[in-house]
Amino acid sequence: MRGSRQFRTGRVWMLLCLHLLGCAHQLAALERTAALIDQPGLSATGKTVSSLNGGNSTAPVVYEGSWGKVGVRELTLEIPDANLAHSKELQTWRSGTLWEFYNNIATVTQILRDSGLNESDIATLTSTPCSEYRDGATILRPPDDLIIGMSPQTRARLYPRIGLPVRDNKFQNAVPFISGGFPRLAEVPSGLSPETIDLICRLSYAKRGGGLYFSDWKLVLSRAADDAERLRIIKSITREISLHASLELSEYTDRRAVLDYWGAGGRNQAGRTALEAILENREIRHLDLVHLLPPVAKRLINTYPEREEGLGDDMPDCFATAFSFFSNALPPRMLDGESVLEIHRERYERATAPWQFGDVLMIQSSQGQWIHACNFIAGEILFTKNGRSNNRPWVFQTTNDVLSSYLVDERIQAFFFRLKPEFRE
């Protein structure tokens, strides 16, 4: 998938938008990131160390800089069984795929045509038994073969127009795949048959920016042999890539510089206290990064949200997490979406390179909407909560992987922000 046309398109668009940043140092950093999409062997210093290849490598990738040497190995996280107990996908797959349009049949026909379906398929879809008009909605029941036979481009044009803009709408809120799509997620043994993997790949599609998505849950789940396979399918599709990161220490490590970097100018007191103690023991050569994180990130990294952490159905999202990075606890106010953006406006300013531990990377859509925020850790490593769902964990991911997950349209822009000096104490 990495070499596919879809993927390369995404890269081109991202490079285009990054050129629009108009900030030379920022451009330099992110342009390199974009270029890394197909060159995973480059470290932050430009040295090829080893590749991040879906967890099959035993050697870590090493990023070297003012943070010291940070080695990472790729991990593949799966939703815990407890979260799946309430999975809507498991409860609803039997109803089969339904396309609901809140339009009359003539408009729906035009939507299907605009999406690229051929006249024969449109005729099938708009006549009985596939079509029904009920309570102001035109409901289509597309045959499996028709869904499978659609091109990714048709899927990308059609799905955003199905249903209402609500959270549970799997067509408008499709599952975003990390760069490399489902083949990358399935590189680590998933327990799925090659046929099922192939089917999921065929049903994946790219949005305008090139990011890869999946919507056809009911079709894939209905073809599974049993509930056990259905569980494996859900767990595999919703897999999240994370990084097992550690600070590598040696007699040559500049301990003062490392302490200064992770101490973040006094904002990461807890991490600094632990690191001071650890650096004193010269026999420690390998330190999991969890020990260096400030309290909120330390508590959350590589875990899935618990319902208790939410405010009703609102779970901590990327913004709540990114702007609480140096807090001792995640303030409840951070669950109010608007409040977070107010904090961003009041307390943060554009950052200048070199990026610092905890800097906030924000991604903006072409409409000027902030669509994601995460924190810079070191090298190409970001601390991120992708999406609001409690089926997505807090993870470390590379800049490249985070950006590729948010290629929703032609022009995304990414900016680094940092707390204004008056708020750093």
Partner 1 sequence: MKLSGFIFMVSALTMVGVSAADSGKCSPGPWGDIRVSEIFLEAPESLIRLIPAPSRQTVWRFPGMDIEMVTTLLNSLTDDPVLLQEMRREVPLQTFEDETRAFPSPGIIRALPVAAQISLYRVLSRFEENPWYFQPVIIETDSVRSWFPEGRIPAEAISLIEELSFPLGDSLAFVDVPSLLPTVRTEREEIDLRKALTRTRSLLLDVQVTPGEDFDRLVDYWTCSDTALSGKPLLESFRLLPGSFSFNVAEVLPPVPRKHLNSFPSPGEGLTGSYPNSFWSTLNFFKISPDPRFMRKLRAENELSAHYEEVQPPLKFGDIVSFRDPARNQLLHVCSYIADDIAYTKNGKSVLEPWVFMRIKDIRSRHSIRNDSELSYLRRIDRSSPDAGPAPF
Q: List residues near partner 1 by CB under 8 A.
A: 55-58, 73, 75-80, 82, 188-189, 242, 244, 266, 269-270, 272-274, 276-278, 280-281, 283-284, 286-288, 290-291, 295-296, 298-304, 306, 308-309, 328-329, 393
In the bound state with partner 1, the residue whose beta carbon lies nearer, of 11 and 239, is: 239
Residue 276 CB, nearest approach to partner 1 (Å): 7
Residue 358 CB, nearest approach to partner 1 (Å): 16
Amino acid residing at 52: L
Residue 81 CB, nearest approach to partner 1 (Å): 9
Residue 195 CB, nearest approach to partner 1 (Å): 22
User: In the numeric block, which tokens belong to residue 208?
Assistant: 């305008």
End-to-end Cα, the chain, rounded Å: 46
Residue 192 CB, nearest approach to partner 1 (Å): 14
Characterize the bridge pairing of strands 240-248 and 286-288.
antiparallel
Long-range contacts of 267-275 (CB under 8 A, 24+ apart): 267/294, 267/326, 267/358, 267/419, 267/424, 268/292, 268/293, 268/294, 268/326, 268/357, 268/358, 270/294, 270/295, 270/298, 271/298
In the bound state with partner 1, the residue whose beta carbon lies nearer, of 298 and 347, is: 298
190 CA to centre of own chain: 19
Characterize the bridge pairing of strands 175-177 and 212-214.
antiparallel
In the bound state with partner 1, the residue whose beta carbon lies nearer, of 55 and 116, is: 55
In the bound state with partner 1, the residue whose beta carbon lies nearer, of 105 and 278, is: 278
Amino acid residing at 15: L
Residue 121 CB, nearest approach to partner 1 (Å): 40
Do residues 43 and 49 make contact, with C-beta atoms less than 8 angstroms apart?
Answer: yes
75 CA to centre of own chain: 14
In the bound state with partner 1, the residue whose beta carbon lies nearer, of 98 and 270, is: 270
In the bound state with partner 1, the residue whose beta carbon lies nearer, of 211 and 294, is: 294
Buried b (16+ CB within 10 A) or exposed e, 254-280: eeeebbebbbbbebbeebbebbeebbe
Residue 236 CB, nearest approach to partner 1 (Å): 12
In the bound state with partner 1, the residue whose beta carbon lies nearer, of 223 and 291, is: 291
Do residues 105 and 133 make contact, with C-beta atoms less than 8 angstroms apart?
Answer: yes
Do residues 383 and 297 make contact, with C-beta atoms less than 8 angstroms apart?
Answer: yes
In the bound state with partner 1, the residue whose beta carbon lies nearer, of 54 and 143, is: 54
In the bound state with partner 1, the residue whose beta carbon lies nearer, of 83 and 97, is: 83
**Nearest alpha carbon to residue 416 among 10, 28, 13:** 28
Residue 301 CB, nearest approach to partner 1 (Å): 8
248 strand-pairing partners: 69, 286
Question: In terms of C-beta density within 10 A (0-12 exposed, 13-18 middle, 19 or more buried), how is residue 336 classed?
Answer: middle
In the bound state with partner 1, the residue whose beta carbon lies nearer, of 104 and 281, is: 281
State the number of CA atoms in the 13 A half-sphere of 221 facing the CB: 25
Show the DSSP H helices in 20-129 as ranges: 24-35, 81-84, 88-92, 105-115, 119-125
Residue 225 CB, nearest approach to partner 1 (Å): 23
Residue 197 CB, nearest approach to partner 1 (Å): 16
Residue-by-residue DSSP string for 149-201: HS-HHHHHHHGGGSS-S-TT-TTTSPEEEPTTHHHHHTTS--S--HHHHHHHH
